[in-house]
Structure 1
Amino acid sequence: MCGRGIDQVLAHPCSPEIYEDYMRSAAGYVLLAEQANGPIPRRNGSSYVWGAALEQFKSMQPDARIINLETAVTGSNDRANKGINYRMSPENADCLAAAGIDCCLLANNHVLDWGRAGLVETLTTLQKLNIKAAGAGRNDREARAPAMLSLADARLLVFAFGSASSGIPFKWVAMSDTPGVNLLPDLSRASAFEVADQIMAARRPGDLTVVSIHWGSNWGYDIPDEQRIFARALVDKAGVSIVHGHSSHHPRAIEIYRDRLILYGCGDFLNDYEGIRGYERYRDDLALMYFADLDPTSGSLHALKLVPMQIKNFRLSIPSRRDIEWIRQTLDRECRPFGTRVIFESEQQLACVAQRATT
C-alpha cells in the first residue's frame, strides 16, 4: 500500500486531507510512525520505500515481479464514503517502476476509494509506466482480462479477482459501460469452475497461470474452508501454477497442493501502519518477499524461497535474527496443518517445503 502516509514522504504527495473518524490528515500517519521509530525524511526519491528489498531483487533476479496494489493512484477528490480511503499521487507512481514491478493487481477494496475516475487514472498511470494491470478495468471485458507477461521460456497469464469477503462493495463491479473490479459472485465450487473455464479459454499450450484473489479478513490465521476448496478447484480443473491470495495484513498459511503453490494470505509488503496499536501480536511490521521457482514446462513448483523484511520508517529493511526466527516459527506453525514446513535456507532467507521433504 503506497498511499496515504507513504505518499506523504515521497517527492510529490497528494493533498493530505482524509476523512477518517480518528485522523483528518495523511500526515498524521507519518507522525505516528515517527513517534514509534524516529524521524522519517520527506520528499524522498522513488526508490526510498523499497530499501533493502532492491538488493534482494537484484540478487534473486525474478522473471516477473507481481504485486497487489492496494491504493488508487489519482488526484481525484471523489471520495467513496467507506471510512478509509487510500490514494497515491500519480507523480509518485514512479516508485513502482523503481522496484521493477511488472504487474499490479487491482481487484481489491481500495482501488475505487476515490471514485471510478480515480480508477481510470490509476489504469492510465500504470499504462504510462509500462506496468501491466489485471483485476480492474474501464469495463467488464477489460477487468476480466488477464495480464500477459513474456518470460524467458513461457508466457505467464495473471488473472485477478476480488471477493466481497475482503470488503469490496458489490457496487464496484465492472460492467459493460462502467469501470470497476473483477468481482466474484461468491467463493463456491461453481464459481471456481467458472474461473477455471475462463483460464482454459485464454490459455495457449505452454502458458503458465497465476490466479490472484483478494479475499478474507485482515487479521488472524484461520483459513476458511471455502478458500481451500476454491483454491484446490482451480488447481484440479485448470492446472493453475499459483493461487496468490491476499488481504490479510500479515502472512498466512502456505499449501503445496499437487505440486502447485497456494498462498492463502501473503500479508502486506509495505504499509503506513507503524505506530498504530491494537494488533501488535500479528507483527504486521514483518513482511515477506515470495520467490517461486516454477517448472516452465509443467508449471509445477520447484522451490519457494521467502525473504523476510521489516517495515521501519516507511522503508523495507532487514529484520533482526530474532524477528526472522519469530516469523519462521509462526508461519511454520500455521503451515503444518497444510502439509508444509518453513525452514531456514540461509541466515536471512527461509524456504517453504512439503513435510515429506523434511524427513
Structure 2
Amino acid sequence: MLCLTGDVMTGRGVDQILPAAGDPRLWERYVASAQNYVALAEAASGTIPKPVDYSWPWGDALQVLDEFAPDLRIVNLETSVTSSDDVQPAKAVTYRMHPGNVRCLTAARLDACALANNHVLDFGVGGLEETLDVLTRERLAPVGAGRGAQQAWRPVALTAGGHRVLVWSAGSASSGIPRSWAAGPERPGVAFLSEASDADADALCERVRRAKQPGDIAVVSVHWGSNWGYDVPRAQVRFAHRLIDSGVDVVHGHSSHHPRPVEVYRDRLVLYGCGDLINDYEGIPGEERFRGDLRLLYVAMLDPVGGLDQLRMVPLQSRQMRLRRAAVEDARWLHRVLRKASRGLGSQIDLAPDASLLLRR
C-alpha cells in the first residue's frame, strides 16, 4: 500500500509558524515578508497559535495515515530546506524552509521526497546541496535532484510488502522548471524532461527497464503541467502511457494546485495531478472556483505485480495552515468535480460511506 501526495510546500509562511522559523525576507514583487502570508491565513481562518508543533501542518492527515498504515509515504517536497540567501533573481516566487524545521517532515514519517520541481533550486546550488544533505541525514530519501545528472536520475529503492519499490522523480518545463536547472554530468540540478519529447520518454523508459527486476514495483513521480484547470494535455497522456508500457506501475503526477483527473491504464494507476497538500495559500484571493482549500490524500492498494486493486482518496481541508478532515458536503463537491474530470479517461469514481473517494480497477 502506497500513500502518495501532491505538493508539500513547508517553506515561506508555513516555515514562519514552526519553532525554528527562518529569515522571513522575500523577493516577491508585492510581498516582502513571509509573515504576510501568515497574516492572510489568520485573517481568513483565525489566529494560529505560533509557534506551532512540528506536526501542526499535517493535522488530521496523520490520523488518516495511522488508520491506513501504508507501507510507504511518498510526497513532492516543493521547497528548498536551507538557510542560504542565494535567491535566484529570475524567480517571482521562492520557497525555503529553515533546516531546523525538518522535523515537520519527519513528523509524517515520510519515506521519499521527490525534488524534481520548480522550487528546489530557488536558493541556488548551495541551497540545493544543503537540502540534499538535510534530507539524507534524516533518512527522507531525496530523489530527482543531485550534484550531477547521475545522482539526479538515480531512483531510490524502498521496500513494501516484501517487494522492492523503485521511485524516480523528474520534472518538466511545463510546471515552471527553468531548463537551466537541468542536472548535467558535473552540474547540480534536477532530472529535467519534456513530456512532448520522444527522446526524453525513451531515455526514462530505458532507465526503468535497466533497473527494474522481477518482483519490483516502479513509481515515476512527475512534476508537470499548469497550476489550474482540469484538462490533461494529450502529450501528458501519451507520456504516461509510454511509461506504463515500459514497465512503470504508478505514475505520480503533481504541480496543479488542485486535484486533476485520475486514470487506470493497463491496470496501472496514473495520477495526472495530485494537487497541493500543504501550502500557505490560505486567504489569497483568486481561482476560488477550483476550491484550492480542499486537498486529497491518495492511498493506493496494489496487487503483487503492481496493478491497481483500489485507490482511496481522502478529502481534507486546510484551515489555519493545518489539515482537517473535510466536511461531507465538501467531499461531495470533490467527488462531483473529479468524477466529471476523469470520465473522459474511462475512470469511475465512487463516494464511499466514509466520505472518501474510491477508484476501482
TM superposition score normalised by structure 1: 0.96
Cα distance, 1:190 vs. partner?
3.5
Aligned to 1:315: 322
Aligned partners of 1:259 and 1:300 also within 8 Å: yes
- Which amino acid counterpart does residue 194 of structure 1 have in structure 2? A
Cα distance, 1:351 vs. partner?
0.5
Cα distance, 1:185 vs. partner?
4.3
Instruction: Determine if the alignment matches structure 1 residue 232 to structure 2 residue 245.
Output: no
Q: Which residue among 187, 209, 214 is the counterpart of 1:205? A: 214
Instruction: Determine if the alignment matches structure 1 residue 281 to structure 2 residue 324.
Output: no
Distance 1:204 1:155 in 2: 9
Cα distance, 1:204 vs. partner?
1.6
Q: Which residue among 58, 62, 78 is the counterpart of 1:50? A: 58
Distance 1:346 1:211 in 2: 31
State the secondary structure of the residue aligned to 2:183. coil
Distance 2:360 2:260 in 1: 15
Q: Which residue among 321, 346, 351 is the counterpart of 1:339? A: 346
Instruction: Determine if the alignment matches structure 1 residue 27 to structure 2 residue 27.
Output: no
Aligned to 2:140: 131
Aligned to 1:357: none
State the secondary structure of the residue aligned to 2:192. coil
Q: Which residue among 214, 219, 242 is the counterpart of 2:228? A: 219
Cα distance, 1:46 vs. partner?
1.2
Q: How many residues align?
A: 352
Q: Which residue among 130, 140, 147 is the counterpart of 2:156? A: 147
Q: Which residue among 270, 294, 303 is the counterpart of 2:310? A: 303
Deviations 1:73-129 (A, max 9, x none): 000000012110000011101111100100000000000000010000000000111
Cα distance, 1:178 vs. partner?
1.8
- Which amino acid counterpart does residue 159 of structure 1 have in structure 2? W
Instruction: Determine if the alignment matches structure 1 residue 194 to structure 2 residue 198.
Output: no
Aligned partners of 1:36 and 1:274 also within 8 Å: yes
Q: How does 1:5-154 map to 2 (within 5 A)?
A: 5-81=13-89, 82-154=91-163
Aligned to 2:3: none
Aligned partners of 2:209 and 2:247 also within 8 Å: no
Aligned partners of 2:15 and 2:21 also within 8 Å: yes
State the secondary structure of the residue aligned to 2:312. strand
Identical-pair percentage = 48
Distance 1:190 1:139 in 2: 20
Deviations 1:30-80 (A, max 9, x none): 000111111111111211111100110100000000000000000000001
Aligned to 1:247: 255
Distance 2:348 2:339 in 1: 5
Deviations 1:151-202 (A, max 9, x none): 2320000011110111100111111222110001453333222211111111
Aligned partners of 1:49 and 1:315 also within 8 Å: yes
Distance 1:24 1:279 in 2: 23
Distance 1:265 1:99 in 2: 21
- Which amino acid counterpart does residue 266 of structure 1 have in structure 2? C
- Which amino acid counterpart does residue 339 of structure 1 have in structure 2? G
Distance 1:319 1:163 in 2: 31
Aligned partners of 1:163 and 1:187 also within 8 Å: no
Distance 1:72 1:308 in 2: 27
Distance 1:190 1:75 in 2: 37
- Which amino acid counterpart does residue 200 of structure 2 have in structure 1? S
Distance 2:188 2:51 in 1: 32
Deviations 1:192-229 (A, max 9, x none): 22211111111122110001110010011110000000
State the secondary structure of the residue aligned to 2:72. coil
State the secondary structure of the residue aligned to 1:277. coil
- Which amino acid counterpart does residue 314 of structure 2 have in structure 1? V
Cα distance, 1:140 vs. partner?
0.8
- Which amino acid counterpart does residue 80 of structure 1 have in structure 2? Q
Instruction: Determine if the alignment matches structure 1 residue 327 to structure 2 residue 334.
Output: yes
Deviations 1:2-21 (A, max 9, x none): 10000000000110000111
Aligned partners of 2:195 and 2:235 also within 8 Å: no
- Which amino acid counterpart does residue 257 of structure 1 have in structure 2? Y
Cα distance, 1:319 vs. partner?
1.1
Distance 2:297 2:265 in 1: 21
Greater shift after overlay, 196-205 or 27-36?
A: 196-205
State the secondary structure of the residue aligned to 2:174. helix
Structure 2, unmatched stretches of 5+, are 1-8
Cα distance, 1:353 vs. partner?
2.7
Distance 1:159 1:64 in 2: 14
Aligned partners of 2:81 and 2:131 also within 8 Å: yes
Structure 1, unmatched stretches of 5+, are 355-359
State the secondary structure of the residue aligned to 2:335. helix
TM superposition score normalised by structure 2: 0.96
Aligned partners of 1:21 and 1:83 also within 8 Å: yes
The structure with higher relative contact order (CA 8 Å, sep 6+) is 2
